Amino acid sequence: MPEHEAGGTLGTPTLEVRDFLRRRREQIAQRWADEPLFRTVFTVSRDEAVEAGKVVVDALAQVADSQRVEDPDAAGFTGVREQLARMGAARSRAGLSATQMSSELAALWPPVENLLVADLAQASPEGLRECSTTLSVLMGTLRLVAMQTALSEGQALIDRQRLQLLEVATPVIKLWDGIVAVPLIGTLDSARSQVVMETLLNAVVDQHARFAILDITGVPTVDSLVAQHLMKTVAAARLMGAECVVSGIRPAIAQTIVHLGLDLGTVKTRASLADALGYCLHELGANIVNATPDDAGRR
């Protein structure tokens, strides 16, 4: 019979908590299965929620065994981080804020505390208090791990969505056989410039393009960083066998380039996308004829 059941003293609080978690694994998991955090995530069956709860209890017992109840980096938490990430992502998709999720995590403590009090009913008040404090710290660390994991997963999702938006905002248009264009709108930063370069080079290969037009009509300002990105893109396209033409050089941008002392001498530039397309068609040997009003009437 365990010491506390005989009314004796308890052992080390962390090890006693470990033993409690192992003894009451099933009961804790059953009670957690009815809590919102588990019930609303594991919707296939209640048994699924119970099994998920058992995994978390096992992790807590492992952490207690290592006596690192205050350490969110304890090895015992490693096995449940992926599960916690899935749970956090599911609650985020359901529209819960970080504060609401934190409240759902905090709701896991009362059922465990009630079981602990019942389990150590024969222990001394001091021993029960020490075990309760240790278990409370352990549950608080689990809460911290879950929030860190959820926030990390949320940031990863934001990064993926940002990359997807950059790709969507960087379309490549086939203007003619051998001519592709990328109309740029908005500010160019390092991340977006990298997407522009990769998208353009892929299009050059896929379309067997001889000319690539970068239209910056929608770029509000051009500074030394933007010019550097453009130069790198032009150089990369040249290495792929395509000539790159930059169009959309407005008067204000032209003045800025001059004031900054930027050297775009090796880059073909045109005032508009139409001018750039005309240049590319001419280089391909196509004859460009402007239609007169009489020609338009006959058509």
Domains and CATH numbers, the chain: 3-165 (1.10.490), 173-287 (3.30.750.24)
pTM score over 0.75: no
Residue reference for tokens 């045109």: 270
pLDDT value, residue 4 = 46
Flag whether pLDDT at 65 surpasses 90.
yes
208-238 residue pLDDT tens: 999 999 999 888 887 778 888 888 889 999 9
Instruction: Name residue 269's beta-bridge partners.
Output: 246
pLDDT value, residue 190 = 75
pLDDT value, residue 187 = 77
How far CA 95 is from CA of 32, 88, 101, in Å, comes to: 21, 11, 10
pLDDT value, residue 91 = 80
Flag whether pLDDT at 155 surpasses 50.
yes
Q: Give the pair of three-digit tokens for residue 149.
A: 């994991």
pLDDT value, residue 159 = 66
241-292 residue pLDDT tens: 999 999 998 888 888 878 878 777 778 899 899 999 999 999 998 877 766 6
Cβ contacts of 135 within 8 Å, gap of 6 or more: 17, 20, 112, 113, 116
